[in-house]
Structure 1
Amino acid sequence: MALQRFHEQFDHIQRSMPGVPLAMGPDDDAHLLYERGVVLARDGEEARVVEDTVRAHFTETRGLFPEHVGRTSPETNRTGVTRIRVGDPGRGDDTVPHALRALRAAEERRGRSLVSRNHVVHIAVNACPGDEPVPVPRTGAANPAAAGGGHHPDSAVRVLVIDNGLVHDHRSYPLLAHTTGDAQLTETDGDGVLHQYVGHGTFIAGLLAAVAPDTDIVVRGTLNDAGAVLESEFGAKLFEAVDRGGWPDVISLSAGTPTGGSDGLIGLDAFMRELRTRRTLLVAAAGNNGSDVPFWPAAYAALPEYADSVLSVGALRADGDGGACFTNHGPWVRVYAPGERLTSALTGFGTPVPYVYQHSTYDACRFGLDYACTCQYPRHTGVLSEGRESTGAKPDQVMFDGLAQWSGTSFATPVAAGLVAARMTAHRERDPRTAGARLLADTTARAEVRGAHVPALRPPTWRPVPLATPALPA
């Protein structure tokens, strides 16, 4: 069942990236999207090796003209990445897998990957959402609730959220009174209906501010375009985000992609190398595919050279005793935090705004777990869901006027980032990486995730939600 929602999202993401032909695969279980007809290589000698090898392979074995192969970006740029066109997407023949196979011998000789797909990096609810937001009355309470201590500009920990932008009236939510950053480009469509994923960055900032009030949170709309960007552009966008205000103490990033490999993202090589030289701690979401396939950049946490600079975060289910059904898992996930049915600000507390659901709920968990998860409750019918038109079911509409309940590793991530920041404040710790390491070392709590007992971070102000009944009425 998990693949159904992934296929629904494929069409949605393709519409959000007009002019970029996308492909899915090669393994549906990996939930992998990439640009058709283009591969990535590192600048310089490696790019030349890739280009020459692919041209020779296609000429000799596939009868294609060498002109199909050529660079589509400058050889020298800050991210150190060259886009190489290996075919004509308009022909309908995806030549990327053939190009990758052509480089295998050269890669074996050099001992590392020389080329990769140009992956689509997306916010962690984009390609496979944990669920969609559910309205919570204005009289409801944030979960986690606001911790004590307040905001002190002279001592505040600097946290950068890289996501989509803030809703225009976010400061009407008290916890976000000191939050700054980029505005969401477009919040509603021509009929005044809230776009999918609007409020994602606002929701994350609200969770951070609740767990760690003494923070200066800046939200950058790096992923404003429906939460998806090509890997070839992502590294430059990350550099731009940190350049605008300097490297922060903590980066909270709820985005990534699987690759099917274990080497990371060529498009992020330069950024990740510079991250290692800084004191910044990158806290990254593990993804919502219900899979053990590494999700990057979170999976950098499992590489020895990044063990102290990247913290990968999976999601606990609503009661906190086990993993959420949708969370990615495996030895590359360092810690888990509450990520199911959290409550934060989605919109400001102004005029209510309608939202139409894009995905239908399921009769049973789409990942095969047997608890009352967000796959099933609260019940609604969505626009994109398969079978809706044949049954005549109309998509459900709700109204948001502030708070919402939402699930995903996207939201476990700012909870963990907030706990690192809160520890820095409580212990007057100036090094975020030291604070993160000590937080993990002092964590004795455990949860069961797919048969493994894993470290679990549960904020003191977080309230578990019983699993026996849905958190909200259907």
Structure 2
Amino acid sequence: MAPKRFHEQFDQIQRALPDVPLAMGPDDSAEFIYEKGVVLARDGEEAHLVENTVRTHFTETTGLVADHVRRGAPQTNRSGITRIQVGDPGHGDRTADRAVAGALRSLREAEGRAGRRLVSRNHVVSIAVNACPGDEPVPAPLTQPPNPAPAGGTYDPVGAVGVLVVDTGLMHDHGSYPLLAHTEGDLQIRETDPDGILQQYVGHGTFIAGLVAAVAPNTEITVRNTLNDAGAILEDQFGEKLFDAVEQGGWPDILSLSAGTSNGRVDGLLGLDGFLRELRAQRTLLVAAAGNNASATPFWPAAYASLPDYADAVLSVGALRADGEFGACFSNHGAWVKVYAPGERLISSLTGFDAPVPYVYQHSTYEACRYGFGYACTCRSPRHTGVLSDGSGKPDQVMFEGFASWSGTSFATPLVAGLVAAHMTAHKEDDPRAAARQLLTANTEFAEVRGAHVPALRPATWRSVPVGPA
């Protein structure tokens, strides 16, 4: 039985957020996940307008109960967002929410007059896009060096470039990997289930930190565990959590973010408006993953790189396949993706090295690439059976002893963040945004993605891996 990856991940995210009724959007598609019965608006007059417009719409044109429409208590959060309940979250199934759809329709005329969006779904922002990284991790032997291998250079705490990774937390024994000996931040809250099995996405943040450190040894890496719950968080909470992350240690030079969502629009996420406006006023460079939907649909916040107001502050990253010549089958693409880097079968530290830990695969591989590519991609290789995909067979279990091979735009992103940091160190450049511009301007490497000639950044210590036919 072929796995239904998006539905499998939807169920997993729903279990991680048990008190939040979720729906698939805009219908039973794999575009995004959002909270049922709730919309978002900016605080103040706009929230009042949205509430009144939706209530009037429901009273006059639908059978929904207008009394369900109510604003949440006034908030003082830095994101400037108000949650408005527009219907019974228990109404309907996970494939539709006509209350939210009706609320969005009722504001179209008002949005046209205002010249901007006034209302939004409350999307789930996640590392689990479509809804997963390019694949699940595969154990890599300790005799096999990481890829990319550690670059030359030393760590100098005085002049180190500050890199903040907002992701899952660090494994408790991450310091047993020499490259992460001086990495700081939050630990993963729950690494294993009651049976001692590594939970899905645990190690994601540790893997990313290891990639940054390999490419740019002179970095002060901090990891925040903002995305511990199956790598997922609601949009209205995410903006506030990003503020928390940057303010704990001050705005970093580089913020590496391997999470996001599409929303069917080209103007960003309402819940991140406040954070992105503040980011623009800072000197921090946001390096963000383009997502793994194999789609040209903008994926946020990475797609802010295509908006003129944010083009200098955000750098969006797509993934190349293991040979580095073409786009990975899963990578999102389009003019809004500004650069590509290797993102298939990279090797880094998933767990610490203190003791082996078992992992049970959640998803089965496919018989053929689910996106129609003809090379031996991670959709189908290496073969394994997952517990969520096929109840007829025993799921495969493996042991992790430190290193893993993993794929996704999640991991192309820290390579680019590391390359920008390494450029800052090598050229004594204090401005990360200037360093990114210089790096891309001087870059002469390209790859082919969906027939387009695109900029590609490949770390000097990264080793290409031949890819054979499927």
Query: How high is the TM-score relative to the length of structure 2?
Result: 0.97
Residue in 1 aligned with 2:23? 23
Counterpart in the other structure of 1:13: 13
Does the CA-based 8 Å contact 1:3-1:29 persist in structure 2? Answer: no
* 1:202-213 mapped onto 2 (5 Å cutoff): 202-213=206-217
Q: CA deviation at 1:126?
A: 7.0
SS of the residue 1:63 aligns to: coil
State yes or no: 1:265 paired with 2:269: yes
With over 3 angstroms needed to count, the CA separation of the structure-2 counterparts of 1:277 and 1:151, relative to structure 1, is same
What is the aligned counterpart of 2:252 among 248, 255, 262? 248
Q: CA deviation at 1:147?
A: 0.2
Aligned to 1:358: 362
Higher mean C-alpha displacement, 423-432 vs 3-12: 3-12
Report the alpha carbon displacement of residue 202 of structure 1 after superposing the two structures with TM: 0.1
Q: Hey, what does 1:160 align to over in structure 2?
A: 164
> Which residue type is aligned with residue 150 of structure 1?
T
> Corresponding residue for 1:63?
63
On the 8 A contact 1:54/1:103 being kept in 2, the answer is yes
SS in 2 for 1:258: coil
In structure 2, the CA distance between the partners of 1:91 and 1:469, relative to structure 1 (3 Å rule), is closer
SS at match of 2:288: strand
2:102 counterpart residue number: 98
Q: Tell me the equivalent position of 1:282.
A: 286
Alignment pair present for 1:339 and 2:343: yes
Q: 2:310 aligns with which of 289, 306, 309?
A: 306
1:254-312, Cα deviation, whole Å (9 max, x unpaired): 00000000110111111000001100000000000000010000000000010100000
- 2:398 aligned partner: 398
Q: 1:182 matched to which residue of 2?
A: 186
The answer for the alignment partner of 2:458 in structure 1 is: 458
- Deviation for aligned residue 1:94: 3.7
Deviates more, 1:4-13 or 1:279-288: 4-13
1:248 aligned partner, one-letter code: P
1:72 shift after superposition? 2.1
C-alpha distance in structure 1 between counterparts of 2:379 and 2:63, whole Å: 48
Identical positions, percent: 72
**Which of 208, 215, 218 pairs up with 2:219?**
215
Counterparts of 1:415 and 1:373 in 2: how far apart (Å)?
20
Partners of 1:102 and 1:336 in 2: CA distance:
40
> What is the number of residues matched between the two proteins?
466
Measure, in 1, the Cα distance between the counterparts of 2:16 and 2:190.
Answer: 13
1:372 aligns with 2:361: no
* C-alpha distance in 2 between matches for 1:185 and 1:312: 29
Q: Counterpart amino acid of 1:290?
A: A
CA contact (8 A) 1:291 1:329 kept: yes
Asked if residue 196 in structure 1 is aligned to residue 200 in structure 2, the reply is yes
What is the distance in 2 between the residues matched to 1:10 and 1:169? 30
Report if the CA contact (8 A) 1:30-1:293 is conserved. Answer: no
Asked whether the 8 Å contact 2:375–2:469 carries over to 1, the reply is no
Structure 2 CA distance for aligned equivalents of residues 77 and 152 of structure 1: 37
Task: Kindly provide the amino acid, as one letter, of the partner of residue 318 in structure 1.
Answer: A
Task: Identify if the C-alpha distance between structure 1 residues 292 and 369 changes in structure 2 by more than 3 Å, giving closer, same or farther.
Answer: same
Q: How does 1:117-196 map to 2 (within 5 A)?
A: 117-125=121-129, 127-196=131-200
Output the CA distance in 2 between the equivalents of 1:381 and 1:101: 43
TM-score (norm 1): 0.96
Deviation at 1:3?
8.7
Q: How big is the shift at 1:77?
A: 2.6
Please tell me whether the aligned partners of residues 126 and 227 of structure 1 are also in contact (alpha carbons under 8 angstroms). Answer: no
Which amino acid in 2 is paired with 1:302?
Answer: S
Show the counterpart of 1:321.
325
- 8 Å CA contact 1:3–1:28 kept in 2: the answer is no
| Mapped contact 2:133–2:409 kept (Cα < 8 A) | no
Question: Is the Cα–Cα contact under 8 Å of residues 43 and 81 in structure 2 kept in the other structure?
Answer: yes
Matching residue's letter, 2:435? A
Distance 1:176 1:153, change over 3 A: same
Counterpart in the other structure of 1:412: 412
Residue 25 of structure 1: how far off its partner (Å): 1.4
How far did 1:444 drift?
1.2
**Aligned residue number for residue 237 of structure 2:** 233
Paired with 1:438 and 1:76, the residues of 2 have a C-alpha distance of 39
Cα displacement (A) at 1:224: 1.1
Please list the CA deviations of residues 3-54 of structure 1 after superposition, one character each: whole Å capped at 9, or x if unmatched.
Answer: 9211111111101101100000115555210000000000111111110000
8 Å Cα contact 2:374-2:469 kept in structure 1: no
CA distance in 2, matches of 1:421, 1:379: 36
Q: Which amino acid is 1:376 matched to?
A: R
Give yes or no for contact 1:125–1:408 (8 Å, CA) kept in 2: no
Q: Distance in 1 between matches of 2:232 and 2:275?
A: 18
Query: Could you say which residue in structure 2 is the equivalent of 1:427?
Result: 427
Question: Are residues 1:438 and 2:438 paired?
Answer: yes
Relative distance call for 1:279 and 1:2 in structure 2 (3 A) is: farther
Which shows bigger deviation, 137-146 or 84-93? Answer: 84-93
Unpaired stretches in structure 2, ≥5 consecutive residues: none
Q: CA deviation at 1:74?
A: 1.9
* Range with greater deviation from structure 2 (417-426 or 68-77): 68-77
Give, in whole Å, the separation in 1 of the partners of 2:169 and 2:178.
18
